[in-house]
Amino acid sequence: MDTETHQSGGTLRLVLLGPPGSGKGTQAKLLVDRFKIPQVSTGDMLRAAARAGTALGQEAKRSMDRGVLVPDATIVGLVRERLGEPDCSCGYILDGFPRTVAQAEALEKLGTPLDHVLSLEVPEDELVVRLAGRRTCRSCGAMYHVQFSPSRGDAVCDACGAPTYQRDDDREETVRRRLQVYTTETEPLVSFYQERGLLRRVPGTGTVAEIAQRVARALGV
């Protein structure tokens, strides 16, 4: 089935799930390029709404300025506004929303049924290798990986010669805590969509191209 056939109903609405380090951002970009639909990121929406100064944007900014979670009602309102924009008329990829079952239930009430929920799944030990191996240049911000894309010199940036370092949030103990939080928050959501027959589990190991092929098969294209 080709892309045009798959979109014969006029829309392709996806939720993309995946833990830190799963390659979700890379696969989202490939899907955007292939289906010509926008990636709708909660973080992007919050920042855009805050800049625009809308009522919902001001509510969101107050929460962000206080360092607390933005209330579900505000997030859902922003999503409703965003999905009503013209570029979402042929579908979208939701990234970072929903995060909870309550948000998933609110999304259902918006009246735009999802076609698929893709869950990129990678063993925890591999995620730890991917994230804990990252190194960042202190000067120019260039990124390296001790195993997959090391700098030519030991702990030195190829681009500018400055030292590279491991960010605190890339340390193994921190990475494992982040992954545990993701699992705790997301597992009920996975079950929610599995019960509705929307969940498509995709192994996230291998090359970018191999994973993209699995994603395409999961979507039936």
Active site residues: 24, 99, 134, 167, 178
Cis-peptide, bond into residue 150, ω within 30° of zero: no
DSSP code string of 151-216 = -SBTTB-TTT-PBEE--GGGSHHHHHHHHHHHHHHHHHHHHHHHHTT-EEEEE--S-HHHHHHHHH
Distance CA 27, CA 49 (A): 26
3-state SS, residue 118: strand
| N- to C-terminal Cα separation, the chain | 5
Query: CB of 211 within 8 A of CB of 204?
Result: yes
